[in-house]
Structure 1
Amino acid sequence: MFLAVLYWLINDILYRIAAKKAGCSIPIKYFHWDPFLALDLFYQRLSDMRAGDSVATDRNLLKKYGKTVQTNAWGIKQYVISDPVNIQTILATQVDKFGNEPMNRKMCGDFLGDGVMTVDGHLWKKSRQMINPVFARAQVSELSSFEKQLSRMMEKIPKDGGTIDMQPLCKQLFLDSSTEFVFGKSANSLSPETDSPIARRLPGIFDEALVSMFTRYMMGKFSFMAGSKKKFLAQCKEVHDIIDGFIDEEIELQKFGTNIDSAGPYSYVLLKEMVRTTDDRRAIRNELMNVFFPAHDSSAIFLSNIIFLLARYPNKWDKLRAEVLGIGKQKLTFELLKSMKYMQAVMNETLRLHSPAGGSWKTCLAPCILPHGGGASGKEPILLQAGDQVRMSFAPLHVDPDIWGKDAEEFKPERWENLKQSWNYIPFMGGRRICPAQQNVLTDVACIMVRLMQRFKGLENRNECYEYVDRIAFTRESRNDVKVGF
């Protein structure tokens, strides 16, 4: 204990000297009852997660201490941040001094491997160049295949006003669409005649592996204590075997000269292009995993959350439906959907209140100065050192009354009528690591909402619980599902 205290004191003195030399102030700090491992804050996070409010810990911290506060995470300095200027510094102006790799590669590597979400530097650039065409403008505009899958989902919704849980249905839809544009072959989970082992097993085992991976992430350098490593690796292997099946099939097709120029409904399929450029099966699988993970999960939760909110605000449903009916029978295109102002406002407002991603974690790779976080006001610059972690908390930022007003926690799409997006609103991140699928997601979700409103006049909430109670495993979704009647 004595040596631990001495080590902490020496490091604190050296930090103060370095900060003063850099012209920085001392950061505002959270007082830990356990200053060495921060078990107090860890248990508070667990308690809030179990209560269904996973962002409460950060929200309360930032409300009490300011928009940048230094905490401890398993013995490592971690800055919890909702200050938009500091977030812009991390994601844009000083982006090279922060990376995903130290945390993501270690905690997520067994499942996701090396790919666009887990690596930095030249490896990240190579991955990003490979996946960018999947989300190119021409690809985003290809709605024909998506509409085919959407029509299958629509057939499963009761036409007599019966209750249905839309959350699993949304997940099935995006499972089918994401497997098609990533692997070139849909899981067809919504097709009534399908008895595919992929459709039956992939979603369940994928979610199980995500929960295990998230638990390891939460445990930080003590991840070896986060349940059975053997069980987690078995979950990873089962998912990898399914993905490897797609890869082996495509390699055989290209080997014999078939299916080379056909991408099916999409002009660019990631698997086909990767098989053309490399024969490294592991590298192919890693990249596919890094794209498939957010493509099928986050999009489905986003759509579910729109339905969740509109079911509780029938006047907003009516207003949006009036806009939808106003476009008549025009063919749905990227340009048309983008021009629907209230549709865009509803989507923005949903992401503001209930983004599937509550935040982002990065590691400082080199000494860096953040503009805010020091001094009594919290407005003076602070020095971050290599190895420090930053926990950018988007959820508190998106309901900050200083930015959004006293009605910040209300669902009010009208606020977007004259509001321009800035670093106050980052559901898709920002800077060069902004989510490449942003326009793809917004287009697909808008298309779905148009078709729902063209078919159904109204929407009713059928959940017993009115409030949004979350469940988290990297993404935040409604714990009570999304039970509605159309």
Structure 2
Amino acid sequence: MAYISFQYFMYLCAAFILYYSVRSYISNRRFRQFALQNGCAAPHQARNKLPWGIDRLYRVLNLAKSGEDLLDDIFVQRFLDEGWTMQCTTLFGAQIIQTVDPQNVQAVLATKFKDFEVGEGRHKQFGVVLGKSIFTSDGPFWEHSRALFRPQFAREQINDLASTEKSTQDLFQALGPVDENGWTASVDLLPLLYHFTLDTATDFLFGQSVDSQLAALQISKEGEDVAEKAGHVNAAADAAQEDNFADAFATANKYMVLRIRLQGLYWLVNNTQLQRAVATMRRFTDQFVQLALQHSQSSKRAPSASEAVGKERYSLLSALAAQAQDPTEIRDQLLAILLAGRDTTAALLGWVLYVLATHPAVFQDLRAAVLAAFPPSSWSSTHPITFTSLKACRYLTYVLNETLRLYPPVPLNLRVALRDTVLPTGGGPDGSQPIAVRKGQVVVFCVYAMQRREDLWGSDAGVFRPERWEGRKLDWGFLPFSGGPRVCLGQQYALTEAAYLVVRFLQRFDRLDPVSGAGSRAPAGKVEKGLGLIMSPRHGVRVRLHAAAAAAV
């Protein structure tokens, strides 16, 4: 009997192998015919030292010990060695496409948008933190989410900079006093920037700020807690809780990155520390969910963005509650947009202030341009800082663009093919022919590497030079905010917030000197990057600032 059972089992195994082989043969034949019909040639196959690219995976997981840079030493170098578009073998033999060709990126994000999606893999890797939200979804739910968020980023909303000014003054207060020579103490600006963007993001999205900058300083006014006096949620304004939220997000961020790097083995990363971090983040956000539901019960509907101008401010909080009653959905959406608004803008500001500190000539040129456009003594009257006036300061735009070129907040991204499709270039011996992409195949595009290609940006592509933007038009070789239908909704918001704070910094300070910090293992001249979901300066932005004689108060 046992023999018969074993024999039956072997028959089943043989049948399965035969079925899989025939199915694979038919699928491969069909795909070859598709490629032939569309004039495609095979992409360059990247080389691995070990099967499945285990050697590269080991390097990625061993970055902390080796001191290698994931982007410069692994991704950029491989594109230089193998070409701008290649096919790579990953875990379990999966074949992915990697590209830094603007034509291919444009096809993936725009011209063939309906052929690609962010994919189930992103939901599985990110969903442990972000749940079902605009960043982890495709199809109708993504379309619904985007339509819901779009009014929040109307120009009228972005141009309301009163809260930004308040948060700017809170940041200046956090810098502390200057000494008899006008210098501040050495300070790491990056944590202050995260407080700044959390405060502006919560006010912009939810209609009230958590005042995290003031709470972190334990500042009170007239003997009362600032947040309580303003009528804010007590727990949300508590410094310890905000710090817990920031720490929890840093922890969750670290583990999400590890889940991404492990590719199909992402599920191995789901330990107690990650679960506790997620629970802390959700408790923080649940406070806003309760406010949203309470507001929904007392109001028939949320005001539209056009109705909100000059009246009650449009709030994503109220809009979500008006259209969704599921607390989990509201929480996930709020958490996703809060994290995006907080971290991308803080990272951009961190890099801007880093490059200004390390490029004193650029600092002085930019300060001259800013003072010409926005004299400190009259910034609030005859020279108001607005969305339009910030856009009109060309050198400021050049500095922001050059910072985003060299240090894009999201340096890597990917899409998954929904069906067999074609990318316009990367095939054949010289890489000039179209390539076929199989249904389910992953296409990874590295914005960081693309924006440093010398054939696109010149032989000084690795040099910070804002003047290169004089007369240059934006194209698909510059994608710090992605492109196509999924282009970042908050692009203008982030640029306006960053530009505003930079202007106020340059009005107030005439020197920004870098201070060497501990912890760096990079060779001289090499910039160390902190790579989470967002790329930021790895060791912060430690500087001293000198107050200008006519600084605005």
Fold-level similarity (TM above 0.5):
yes
Correspondence 1:288-437 to 2 at 5 A: 288-327=334-373, 328=375, 329=378, 330-437=383-490
- Deviation of 1:216 (Å): 1.2
1:252 pairs with one of 271, 294, 297: 294
Native 8 Å contact 1:103 1:362 kept in 2: no
Does residue 128 of the first structure (1) align with residue 181 of the second (2)?
Answer: no
Distance 1:480 1:30, change over 3 A: same
Aligned-partner residue type, residue 289 of structure 2: I
* Structure 2 match to 1:96: 114
Separation in 1 of the partners of 2:444 and 2:38? 23
Does residue 62 of the first structure (1) align with residue 105 of the second (2)?
Answer: no
Aligned-partner residue type, residue 244 of structure 1: D
1:26 pairs with one of 42, 46, 69: 42
Computed over aligned residues only, the root mean square deviation of the Cα atoms, in angstroms, reads 2.6
* Structure 2 match to 1:46: 61
Q: Which moved more, 1:45-54 or 1:92-101?
A: 45-54
* Structure 2 match to 1:150: 168
- Deviation of 1:237 (Å): 2.2
- Deviation of 1:133 (Å): 1.3
Separation in 2 of the partners of 1:365 and 1:267? 40
Separation in 1 of the partners of 2:138 and 2:100? 23
Separation in 2 of the partners of 1:260 and 1:430? 30
Distance 1:266 1:202, change over 3 A: farther
- Deviation of 1:316 (Å): 0.3
- CA-to-aligned-CA distance 1:329-377 (integer Å, 9 cap, x gap): 2110000000000000000000001111112111111111111111111
- Deviation of 1:271 (Å): 1.0
- Deviation of 1:196 (Å): 3.9
Native 8 Å contact 1:52 1:469 kept in 2: no
* Structure 1 match to 2:4: none
**2:543 match: secondary structure:** strand
- Deviation of 1:162 (Å): 2.2
Aligned-partner residue type, residue 40 of structure 1: D
* Structure 2 match to 1:107: 125
Aligned-partner residue type, residue 358 of structure 1: P
Separation in 2 of the partners of 1:143 and 1:412? 29
* Structure 1 match to 2:244: 201
Separation in 1 of the partners of 2:326 and 2:442? 33
- CA-to-aligned-CA distance 1:51-79 (integer Å, 9 cap, x gap): 26221211111111111111123232211
Distance 1:25 1:139, change over 3 A: same
Q: Which moved more, 1:389-398 or 1:258-267?
A: 258-267
Aligned-partner residue type, residue 36 of structure 2: K
Separation in 1 of the partners of 2:300 and 2:241? 23
Separation in 2 of the partners of 1:113 and 1:26? 38
Correspondence 1:407-486 to 2 at 5 A: 407-464=460-517, 467-486=526-545
Q: TM (normalized to structure 2)?
A: 0.82
Does residue 223 of the first structure (1) align with residue 266 of the second (2)?
Answer: yes
Does residue 281 of the first structure (1) align with residue 334 of the second (2)?
Answer: no
Separation in 2 of the partners of 1:18 and 1:437? 39
Separation in 2 of the partners of 1:21 and 1:260? 52
- Deviation of 1:319 (Å): 0.3
**1:216 match: secondary structure:** helix
Native 8 Å contact 2:292 2:320 kept in 1: no
Aligned-partner residue type, residue 459 of structure 1: L
Q: TM (normalized to structure 1)?
A: 0.93
- Deviation of 1:108 (Å): 1.2
Q: Give structure 1 stretches of 5+ with no counterpart.
A: none
Separation in 2 of the partners of 1:451 and 1:477? 22
- Looking at both structures, which has the greater relative contact order when contacts are Cα pairs under 8 Å and sequence separation is at least 6? 1
Aligned-partner residue type, residue 345 of structure 1: Y
Native 8 Å contact 1:459 1:485 kept in 2: yes
Separation in 1 of the partners of 2:392 and 2:509? 22
Separation in 2 of the partners of 1:254 and 1:123? 21
Does residue 80 of the first structure (1) align with residue 98 of the second (2)?
Answer: yes
2:88 pairs with one of 71, 77, 80: 71
- CA-to-aligned-CA distance 1:91-142 (integer Å, 9 cap, x gap): 1100011101322112112211222111111111100000111111111101
Query: Which protein is bigger by CA-based radius of gyration?
Result: 2
Distance 1:19 1:259, change over 3 A: closer
Aligned-partner residue type, residue 482 of structure 1: V
Native 8 Å contact 1:100 1:118 kept in 2: yes
Distance 1:264 1:225, change over 3 A: farther
